[in-house]
Amino acid sequence: MSTRVVVTGLGALTPLGKTVAESWAALLAGKSGIRPIGELANAESYERHCPPSLAVADVKEFDPHAYGNLFTSQDLRRMSQFTQFAVVAAQEALRDANLIETLQKGRNDRVGCVIGSGIASVHDMYDSIVEFDRGKRLSPSFVPKILSNMACGNVSIKFQLRGVSHCVSTACATGNNAIGDAYNFIRLGYNDVCLAGASEASVHPLALAGFLRAKSITPSGISRPFDKERNGFVLGEGAGLLVLESLKHAQDRGARIYAEVEGYGLTSDAHHITSPSENGDGARRAMEMALNNQTRSQVDYVNAHATSTVLGDRAEAQAISNILSGDGKDAIKVSSNKGAIGHLLGAAGAVESIFTIKSLQDGVVPHTLNLHSVGGASGDEAENFERLDLVRGAPAKHDIRRALNNSFGFGGINSSIVFRRWEV
């Protein structure tokens, strides 16, 4: 019998809040974590390189000193901000799973860590290059601070996680892939428990200017997933971590279970480095792989990747409508969190998986912020959008037993995870 994998802990740091509870409450209340670059402390640096109309979704007033003795002075010298974000989210997730005391007792050889990042530390790379060009000596911590696996490494050290240590870096699919890999590690028997997710701290003038040049960023400063006026994403940051366990391990220790991970899909478009295949073929195949052709008619909600780009939202809407509509059931409910939190790049899938699990737990679908006029210009696109129940205006109460969370990334990577509401 295949090992079943469940979720027993959640931790998050997002543009909407410093914890899962804060972030979830703000999302349901229709609040936005997005703000104009002119409101940032270093606004002049942003506006020197970018139009003042741009916006970002940053983690506001983050202070590592606010977490008691979680960080030592040496930690703060050696850890980039994306690593600090991961440590904070890890502590919340492990506490939520009631594992801190167990780890302190050393029962941790089969507790793994899978944390990824899409870009790691733009801040440290940029600052170090500028200082180096001015003739100043590099810090001994320069290389360790910019490596993508440093969040995973430092979290493993901080909490003594001695099982699998693995870093995923698959652009904006990173968070979903980290959870999917951890799911498979547990199923393969490598670990009993795995802390999984991603962290990103890429709100920086260089990153913003780069995505703007790639024509990915909206010049309006407003994220509008699935809306006719959508024209790009808002750059965001944050961290999301989940505690995954084998069902047996969770039950043996009497853990509270949030949800079961029921399937994972991963495919490539093999089409273009930044644009999805127009018919959403890669996304469709990832969802089908996650569903394994067995639970298709039983999916109640899709938390869409939907970044607010013209091509991306169109392709995903077609993919979802192709496999989850037209089977005689009511149109499936679909929403995107990115209208409220922007696009957290590598961390998007992890944070949005947490929101998906909260939807299962609370029986509510968060609405898509800034979604007013659904669809697009072409008849085919409008038809695909109309086959979906795109939740807008307010959250929708809904009995959700299964939900899909999608994440797609540059390089043509597509990932999808199926979560099932836990019922004893």
Active-site positions read 172
303: nearest Cα among 163, 153, 408: 408
Q: How far does Cα 409 stand from its chain's mean position?
A: 11
The span from the CA of 349 to the CA of 114, in Å, is: 14
The span from the CA of 241 to the CA of 91, in Å, is: 9
353: nearest Cα among 280, 411, 290, 302: 302
The span from the CA of 233 to the CA of 237, in Å, is: 13
Beta bridge partners of 235: 56, 343
348-362 and 20-28 are packed helices; what angle lies between their axes, rounded to 10 degrees? 70
Burial class (CB in 10 A: 0-12, 13-18, 19+), 363: middle
Residues sharing a CB contact under 8 Å with residue 337, sequence separation 6 or more, in sequence order: 27, 303, 351, 352, 355, 366, 368
Residues sharing a CB contact under 8 Å with residue 136, sequence separation 6 or more, in sequence order: none
Residue-wise DSSP of 218-242: -TTS---TTBTT---B-EE-EEEEE
